[in-house]
Amino acid sequence: MISSCDLGGVFVVLLEKRWTFTHLSGGRHIYVYANAPFVCSTLSLNTFNMLQYFFGLVYLSAVLLYVALTGTHADECPLQLNPQRAVVRYNGSVAVNCSTSVPHDGIEWEASEGSVPMSSSVSLTTWTVSNLREWDIEPFCYINPKDGDQCSLYLPVTIYKTPDSVSISTVNHIGPMKERNQYELQCDVLNVAPVQYLTVKWYKGQTLVDQTVFNDTIKTPVNKTATLMIRPDRSDDGVQYRCEAELKLGEEGPRPPPKVTSKPLSVEVYYKPKHSSSIETINLSSEVTLNCTVKANPAPTYTWDSEHLKEKITSSVLPSSKLSPGNYTCITTNSQGSDSKVFIVRSTGRTTFWAIVITGVAVAVLLIVGYVIYKCKSSPNSVI
């Protein structure tokens, strides 16, 4: 049944218990859409006056405000879906119940797969598909209430597919990286759907360092690439990066969210030698050594420079047998650069020895002199 009324040039049409508002001015169409329970109808006006136009818009605004404030509960379709959203793995099975608590003349499911014929003898009908492969499927549950017109509920369906593979690589670079240079890592995710739920996570060791999300609304499988810029330092030598493709499918999705992780990418970093200190002072003893060992990649070479050395030494350590008091300079070099360290060797140990000897001799001399004086004073022939 269709009825209509003309209020100020704004035509209000009741179509199957749903209101629509349309205004046409001078052949130019002005459409006003309301929320869920409204549909649109088009009528033609050849003339209107400004007063009717004004009051018509005032009335229309009041009606739309009323709808916004009161909601549409009076016209809600008396159907319940369980679950209200279906999340299904590609080629997986699905089952969703549609039920009602009101008297009706028929309830049914309509879908390109798994349709259920209308029946008036049940209050619950189930849409089932054993192997769901249709990415764009749109199931609807319909009901013909005895006290009302036919209505329906749409079931949102998300079909997902985990990636065939996830791999990580460097972009335009092969081999070791150099300290403080910038490099780009790439994560390739193949054949995943739907991409709008995809998150690519980047890990450095066990630490999450970045993540990439996608906004594409395409439902079918696609290939996606995410990138990460890094600037490694010497502490990153040997560290492993990996990327992980995760499908965050919402509350109705599987727990934990399905994910596929790449194999780790080990990073080798080249860096120059760098000593923790440039000067070190050491007291000479029989146990002392000069250790110039330092971390660097590639492994460094060592050279020593001192006026006390009579031969070329390329080891990182000088033993005490080759040492005399003085300065020794160690130069460490690799393909990334060089660094040097000066060892100052002092003869503190020998000075102490001679100080003890001299002190002992002095004490002995004093004792002898004291003894002689004492004997002289105690002799009977001594003269005072």
Q: For residue 99, give the CATH number of its domain.
A: 2.60.40.10
Contact present, 138 and 154 (Cβ < 8 Å)? yes
Q: How confident is the model at residue 132 (pLDDT cuts 50, 70, 90)?
A: very high
Domain that holds residue 93: 80-160
64 and 88: one domain?
no
As a whole number of angstroms, the distance between CA 205 and CA 264 comes to: 9
Q: Average the pLDDT over each of 212-216, 334-338, 360-364 and give the range with the smallest value.
A: 360-364
pLDDT reported for residue 359: 77
Q: Are residues 235 and 285 in the same domain?
A: no
Answer with the one of 226, 253, 270 that is the final residue of a domain: 270
Higher-pLDDT residue of 71, 148: 148
Write down how long the chain is.
384
**Cis, bond preceding 139 (omega within 30 deg of 0):** no
Do both 264 and 189 map to the same domain?
yes
Q: Is residue 375 part of a domain?
A: no
Nearest to 175 by CA among 267, 254, 37: 267
Q: Is residue 312 over pLDDT 70? A: yes
Q: Are 127 and 155 in contact (CB under 8 A)?
A: yes
Domain endpoint, select from 49, 75, 101: 75
* Percent of the chain topping pLDDT 90: 63
Does residue 334 contact residue 298 with C-beta atoms inside 8 Å?
yes
pLDDT higher than threshold 50 for residue 11: no
Q: Is the pTM of this model over 0.75?
A: no
Check residue 373 and give its pLDDT.
Answer: 76
Residue 75 is predicted with a pLDDT of: 62
Q: Do residues 298 and 338 make contact, with C-beta atoms less than 8 angstroms apart? A: no
CB 270 within 8 A of CB 178: yes
12-59 pLDDT, tens digit per residue, is 333 333 333 333 333 333 333 333 333 333 334 444 455 565 655 665
CA–CA separation, 212 vs 162, rounded Å? Answer: 17
Per residue in 174-187, pLDDT tens?
999 999 999 999 99
Higher per-residue pLDDT: 12 or 100: 100
332 in any annotated domain: yes
What 8-state DSSP symbol labels residue 155?
Answer: -
Output the pLDDT for position 350.
52
Whether the per-residue pLDDT at 105 is higher than 90: the answer is: yes
Q: Which of 45, 75, 105 is the last residue of a domain?
A: 75
Q: What is the mean pLDDT of residues 113-137?
A: 96
Reported as type and span, the H/E element at residue 97 is strand 92-99
Residue 84 and residue 46 share a domain: no
**Amino acid sitting at position 83:** P
The helix/strand/coil state of 30 is strand
Q: Which helix (H) or strand (E) holds 339?
A: strand 337-346
pLDDT at 42: 39
| Residue with the larger pLDDT of the pair 238 and 25 | 238
What is the arithmetic mean of pLDDT over 298-324?
91
Q: Is residue 133 part of a domain?
A: yes
User: Which has more pLDDT, 347 or 120?
Assistant: 120
Tell whether 260 and 188 lie within a shared domain: yes
Residues 172 and 245 in one domain: yes
Across the chain, mean pLDDT equals: 82
For 275-315, where are the E strands, in sequence order?
279-283, 290-291, 301-305
If one counts every other C-beta atom within 10 angstroms of the C-beta of residue 183, the result is 16
Q: Assess if residue 107 is contained within a domain.
A: yes
Looking up tokens 């060797």 gives 345
Has residue 351 been placed in a domain?
Answer: no
- Same domain? For 179 and 262 the reply is yes
pLDDT value at residue 252: 94
Nearest to 105 by CA among 121, 126, 116: 121
- Please check whether residues 195 and 255 belong to one and the same domain: yes
Q: Mean of the pLDDT values across residues 355-378?
A: 73
Q: Are residues 29 and 88 in the same domain?
A: no
CB of 102 closer than 8 Å to CB of 120: no
Does the residue 255 lie in any domain?
A: yes
CA dist 282 and 284 (Å) reads 6
Q: Is residue 384 part of a domain?
A: no
Token representation of residue 343: 């060892």
244 and 200, same structural domain? yes
As for how many domains the chain has, the answer is 4
User: In this structure, are 181 and 263 located in the same domain?
Assistant: yes
- 27 occurs within a structural domain: yes
Spell out where 147-263 has E strands.
151-154, 157-160, 165-170, 177-178, 183-192, 198-204, 207-213, 222-230, 240-247, 259-261
Beta-carbon count within 10 A of 287 CB: 7
Considering the domain architecture, whether residues 21 and 87 belong to the same structural domain is answered as: no
Backbone angles phi, psi at 230, to 5 degrees: -130, 155
Q: What is the dihedral of CA 251, 253, 256, 260, to 10 degrees?
A: -140
